[in-house]
Amino acid sequence: MSRGTHRLYLDSFEDTYATTFAADVLAVDGVDVVLDRTLFYPTGGGQPCDLGVLEGPTGTLDVSDVRGRDAVHHRLPEDHTLSVGDQVTGTIDWDRRHAHMRMHTAQHLLSGLAYAMFDGARTVGNQIGAGRSRLDLRPVVMDETDVNRLRAAFDAAVADDLSLSMGIKDRESLIAEVGEERSNVDMIPASVQQMRIIRIGEQVDVCPCAGTHVRSLGEIGPLGEVHVKSKGKGTKRFAYTLDGNPL
């Protein structure tokens, strides 16, 4: 299981929106199969994995779990008969993935706005779900008026349909542009010098990320329900839904 998987969804927005792909089986370990390339997002960064199917020489197989980064493991039914070298066609469950993309991009937007609006409030945790997501902010003081200001700023950015862009940037130039804290680059090991940067608009949010994002904010739609509660001194948990989310 030493050979790696090319994670196709990282390459461009076109690839992030692709739903089918062809791949070769690199390794088989019981119910887990490693492919040479994949569109399946593996669980990580607070985002659940993609689900879907692989069609191989013996039929269609459900993918029930996806894990790993360098080698991406696709979990198949116990009676699968795939072996190394087989060619497969993968298809991801697009409704689930798109809901995660919208929720995850909403989290970037909320994190960027909160940092700017609440004196450098940092995002110290997040969990994405298709129906409901949350992020933890620290240090932050937020009353109801602040929550409404954040909601208004979020909905305004979505109404403006700001574009997202992706690119490779080195650590020093990222720090020079937005600083270590705002980009959360201080959370990434110093050995990592080149990273994939996701940017909303000019500078609404700029941070390294290997997740999946929508092309422009109009796709997200307005915030739905919001619940804010304290998670210890100076920390707030901001839970949200998105209006019009299909799941």
Residues found near Zn ion in the complex (CB under 5 A): 209, 211
| For Zn ion, the closer CB: 52 or 211 | 211
| For Zn ion, the closer CB: 25 or 130 | 130
| For Zn ion, the closer CB: 28 or 101 | 101
The nearest distance, CB 104 to Zn ion, in angstroms, is: 5
The nearest distance, CB 107 to Zn ion, in angstroms, is: 7
The nearest distance, CB 18 to Zn ion, in angstroms, is: 18
The residue nearest Zn ion at its CB is 209
The nearest distance, CB 33 to Zn ion, in angstroms, is: 26
| For Zn ion, the closer CB: 34 or 137 | 137
Q: 146: closest CA among 212, 236, 65, 40?
A: 236
User: DSSP letter string over the chain?
Assistant: --S--EEGGGS-HHHHT--EEEEEEEEEETTEEEESEE-PPPSBTTBPPP-EEEEETTEEEEE-EEE-SSS-EEE--TT----TT-EEEEEE-HHHHHHHHHHHHHHHHHHHHHHHHTTS-EEEEEE--SS-EEEEEES----HHHHHHHHHHHHHHHHTT-BEEEEEEEHHHHHHHH-HHHHTGGGS-TT--EEEEEEETTTTEEEE--S---SBGGGT--EEEEEEEE-STT-EEEEEEETT---
- Count of C-beta atoms within a 10 Å radius of residue 194: 10
| For Zn ion, the closer CB: 61 or 178 | 178
The nearest distance, CB 133 to Zn ion, in angstroms, is: 12
The nearest distance, CB 35 to Zn ion, in angstroms, is: 23
| For Zn ion, the closer CB: 29 or 186 | 186
